[in-house]
Chains A and B, each alone.
Chain A
Amino acid sequence: MGYNVLIVDDSQTMRKVIRKSVDLSGLPLGECWEAGNGVEALDLLGSHPIDVILTDFNMPGMNGLEMIRELQKNEKHCRIPVVLITTHSQDWVIQEALSLGIKGFIRKPFHPEAIRDLLSQVMEEKSV
């Protein structure tokens, strides 16, 4: 059984693009779920076993950083690896996300290989 991935982005187009990159990665992945913001993501986490989260930062309702803070408050979800995929290239977003313990970040635009490499690294760490 592979790793289940949750993609969180308010843009349906970007979710499809990220999903395509995940599908093309060749990694042993299981189910791939999608959410439009942090609130939807937290809902999904309540009912689905998720192994890694790929999230945008700038989303209405609950942004990526707010979602990560919520995850950390939850004993069951606080150890799920999170990767930030964002257009918001400002240092303060990246720094704050890193201080919250994200496993890495990818700036949009990205090549599919960037997602494959980071997912591969996260899965390797998780298996150890």
Chain B
Amino acid sequence: MFEEIRQSAVGAVSKVFEEMFFIFPEEVGESCDTRGGEAQGGGEENPSAASIRAEIEFDGVPSGKIILILPDGLARKMTGNLMGMNEAEVGDPEILDMIGELNNMISGNLFFLLKRKGEYRLTKTKAERVSETQTQTEPQDGGMVIHFSADGERVKLMIQLEP
């Protein structure tokens, strides 16, 4: 099940980034799951950059949550491109709204790509600005983390399944 979810997640991130933003993310080495243990490593982080964290919960079999974390620079650039605005004009409300919607699109497409069809209900995404330390949180036992490189920046997707 974990591998199927991981593959669907990678497919969903690629589809949304490519079709909506013309950015081509690549999965990078540190992806892992945490069955029976803690996650390993979080990839290289840029300590000077603030990040945006979006979280969405899903109810189904299984239930859980999907968390997307990406650096401010990339979030700003993607928001500006999508809205046809200069990056300097893009404010926090637009960035948080767009990253919330981005996580919503990734989550919806992840479930669409799953071979195991079931009824999943998504909550409204909550998006917030977080410190670098907060981005290093790892999923508990029963979760996975997938790292991507997108436009030279690091994107992190965490999937936490309820036991």
Contacts and interface: CB of A to CB of B under 8 A. Distances in A.
B83 to A, nearest CB: 5
Contact of B108 (A60, A86, A91, A110): A86
B20 A109 contact: yes
Interface residues of B, number: 26
Interface stretch (A5-13, A45-53, A119-127): A5-13
Q: Chain A interface residue count: which class?
A: 20 to 34
A69 interface: no
A40 B111 CA distance: 29
A89 B111 contact: yes
Contacts of B100: 11
Contacts of B19: 109-111
Given A58-B104, A86-B108, A89-B109, A13 B83 contact: yes
Interface of B is mostly: helix
Nearest to B109: A89
Nearest to B17: A109
Interface of B: 15-16, 19-20, 79, 82-84, 93-94, 97-98, 100-101, 104-105, 107-109, 111-112, 117, 119-120, 122, 124
The 8 closest A-B CB pairs, nearest first, are A87-B108, A89-B112, A109-B20, A109-B19, A13-B98, A11-B101, A87-B105, A13-B97
